[in-house]
Amino acid sequence: MINVTKTFFPPLEEYEQHLQRIWKNQWLTNRGALLLELEEKIKKYLEVSNVIIMNNGTIPIQIALKILGGNGEIITTPFSYVATTASIVWENCSPVFVDIHPEYLTIDETKIEAAITPKTTAILATHVFGNPCHVIAIESIAKKHNLKVIYDAAHAFGVTYEGKSIFDYGDVSTCSFHATKLFHTGEGGALFCNDELLNHKMFYSHNFGHNGPLDFHGLGVNGKISELSAAMGLAVLPYIDEIIQSRKDVVDFYTEHLDFAKLKTIKIRENTTWNYSYYPILLESESKLLEVQKALNTSEIFPRRYFYPSLNTIDFTKGQSMPVSEDVASRVLCLPLYKGLTNDELELITTTINRTI
């Protein structure tokens, strides 16, 4: 069976070495030595100034919205995982959707200003499949209208744009370290913020608001991650370049062997160093997508419809029509992409798709 993704497991003995440190320290959570080491190594690898590792990729978005959203209108994309929009609603803000670019699949920056109202407080955009939004244009719009910018960068670990980490853009960027991601801690995530004062507020907000054991900076929740998860991250991180290279090899195979006369894939924004996190294809129609999906399933190959449905159509958003996003969501299929896929498996996938279309 070939699934859309497969978790990378580091050598067991290397993970066990980190576990032995936990047993020696007798410290399982509350920002222990392994977590602190992991944060430092991630900062060095990504060349960023701050990182707060948390227990999943959604809590950082919720904390950012709690602090920056002000219960206002949040301009966002309808083409993302549901957590992006759900976090807006959960934090008592109102999602205002802006349609996406038909090639990059990120929020269409040329349509943002028309959606701004006196109630708008922030822009929450997604670097879809690790493909950067037009961050320069978004920053300009945000400054003009005094808005905050939050990036859902769940897919973007290791991505650079214009020579620097994608996490350096916006007021806050978030990432997922879920088991399905390139870099993972089993379950986890992170928040990146360059502003030291804002970063401090984000930090204590993920730790119950603590200022020492008996005092509090302010309101907070429990967004901490355990040492067990940090151990997994420490065991995975040394392999991240190898993981990215192996995924590039898969993407190169798809690019060389798929019949692009009858399908398309995402256009990666110029001046981007991509991380090959997903490989979406766009079929001619939803009916053709379902036909391809059925043919692949028959051969025990299981791609996934990332992202479906368009988030403006789900019950708790009641969003206006987003023609591009709705069309893309109906026709997009993410192909299997992970370290360890063999050429024979890739040949089966591409041959099945080409024959079906």
Give yes or no: residues 251 and 131 share one domain.
Answer: no
Q: Is the peptide bond before 309 cis (omega within 30 degrees of 0)?
A: yes
The pLDDT assigned to 212 comes to: 86
Residue ending a domain, among 172, 206, 238, is 238
Q: Examine the domain organization and report whether 129 and 265 are in the same domain.
A: no
How confident is the model at residue 76, as a pLDDT?
98
- Reduced to 3 states (helix: H, G, I; strand: E, B; else coil), residue 200 is helix
267, 207: one domain: no
| pLDDT number for residue 166 | 98
Q: How many CA atoms lie within 13 A of 44 on its CB side?
A: 8
Q: What is the pTM of this model?
A: 0.97
Structural domain boundaries enclosing 112: 3-238
Q: Does residue 40 sit in the same domain as residue 188? A: yes
CATH number of the domain that residue 293 is part of? 3.90.1150.10
Q: Where are the alpha helices (DSSP H) in the chain?
A: 12-25, 33-46, 59-68, 82-90, 135-145, 196-205, 227-236, 240-257, 286-298, 323-331, 343-356
- The pLDDT value recorded for residue 161 is 98
Whether 219 and 266 map to the same domain: the answer is: no
Residues 47 and 94 occupy one common structural domain: yes
The DSSP output letter for 339 is: T
- SS3 of 45-104: HHCCCCCEEECCCCHHHHHHHHHHCCCCEEEECCCCCHHHHHHHHHCCCEEEECCECCCC
The answer to whether residues 109 and 140 belong to one domain is yes
| pLDDT of the residue at 318 | 79
Q: What is the CATH number of the domain that holds 125?
A: 3.40.640.10
Predicted confidence at residue 46, as pLDDT, reads 98
- Same domain assignment for residues 255 and 224: no
Domain limit, last residue, from 238, 270, 292: 238
DSSP helix/strand/coil, 175: strand
pLDDT score for 172: 98
Please check whether residues 142 and 172 belong to one and the same domain.
yes
Q: Mind giving me the DSSP string for 9-33?
A: ---HHHHHHHHHHHHHHT--SSS-H
Rounded distance between C-alpha atoms, residue 136 and residue 148, angstroms: 14
pLDDT tens-digit profile, the chain (357 residues): 999 999 999 999 999 999 999 999 999 999 999 999 999 999 999 999 999 999 999 999 999 999 999 999 999 999 999 999 999 999 999 999 999 999 999 999 999 999 999 999 999 999 999 999 999 999 999 999 999 999 999 999 999 999 999 999 999 999 999 999 999 999 999 999 999 999 999 999 999 999 988 899 999 999 999 999 999 999 999 999 999 999 999 999 999 999 999 999 999 999 999 999 999 999 999 999 999 999 999 999 999 999 999 999 999 997 799 999 999 999 999 999 999 999 999 999 999 999 999
Q: Give the chain's domain count.
A: 2
Q: What is the pLDDT of residue 234?
A: 98
- Given 184, 218, 238, the domain boundary residue is 238
Residue 114, C-beta contacts closer than 8 angstroms, at least 6 positions apart: none
Q: Are residues 25 and 96 in the same domain?
A: yes
